[in-house]
Chain A
Amino acid sequence: GIQVEQSPPDLILQEGANSTLRCNFSDSVNNLQWFHQNPWGQLINLFYIPSGTKQNGRLSATTVATERYSLLYISSSQTTDSGVYFCAVPSSGNTGKLIFGQGTTLQVKP
């Protein structure tokens, strides 16, 4: 099945710093989602981005489907950005279920 790898696994930033998280996937996809899991465990949709670039406030994402990777940019990080960031892509077969990467754990220090 499709493999999803995220890097780095852990990231510690000072408040105000910028960061880039990467998601590589092993097969072509027509759907990719980024999620933020906050310290309370909630999974929050950040982006639905099968290709191209999207921006939402301080966050933006780019997916280059032909090269099988996606990037999540966080600018001017805040302590509330802390948590785990997951990317997820559909598995084979048209069921719509998503396969998740192992996540990047981000800690933003004040």
Chain B
Amino acid sequence: DSGVTQTPKHLITATGQRVTLRCSPRSGDLSVYWYQQSLDQGLQFLIQYYNGEERAKGNILERFSAQQFPDLHSELNLSSLELGDSALYFCASSVDPGTNTGELFFGEGSRLTVL
């Protein structure tokens, strides 16, 4: 158990719909990272939050948004879903001292299937 909690574990929805994925970081970790793992794309960084503020952005689609709340949990919102959004979405957290030396710990992922 990494200490990072993600819900839901599985989600099946239809094209055009909107879903919200939730992540609770490890106790004491201020940074939350979101990654997408598609079959043909590997693990791709989407976005990072540090203590409530957006810190880094990857190839995140405009249809996707995220936020980190005062209690440090984070949500990833995916809207106008397309078939190609089907993927495993991971959340990770770290202490992140800002020196690139923090160890990242991953949740079990949310598997999204868009039909």
- Chain A residues close to B by CB (< 8 Å): 29-31, 33, 35, 41-45, 48, 50, 86, 88, 90-91, 93-100, 102-103
Of A30, A35, A96, the residue contacting B31 (CB under 8 A) is A96
B2 cross-chain contacts in A, Cβ below 8 A:
44-45
**What is the interface residue range for chain B against chain A?**
20 to 34
List residues of chain A with CB within 8 A of the CB of B55: 95
Contact between chains at B106 and A96 (CB < 8 Å): no
Given the complex, which residues of B lie within 8 Å of A45, measured CB to CB?
A: 2, 103, 105-106
A96 touches B98 (CB 8 A): yes
Interface of B with A (CB < 8 Å)? 2, 31, 33, 42-43, 45, 48, 50, 55-56, 58, 88, 90, 92, 94, 96, 98-106, 108-109, 111
CB neighbours of B58 from chain A (8 A)? 97
Contact of A30 with B42 at beta-carbon distance under 8 Å, contacts A41-B88, A41-B108, A45-B105 already known: no
20 of the cross-chain contacts (CB-CB < 8 Å) are: A31-B103, A33-B103, A41-B88, A43-B109, A44-B2, A45-B2, A45-B103, A45-B105, A88-B104, A93-B56, A94-B99, A95-B56, A96-B48, A96-B94, A96-B98, A97-B48, A97-B58, A98-B33, A98-B104, A100-B43
CB contacts (< 8 Å) of B109 on chain A: these are: 41-43
Q: Say whether, besides A93-B56, A94-B98, A96-B102, A103 and B42 are in contact (CB < 8 Å).
A: yes
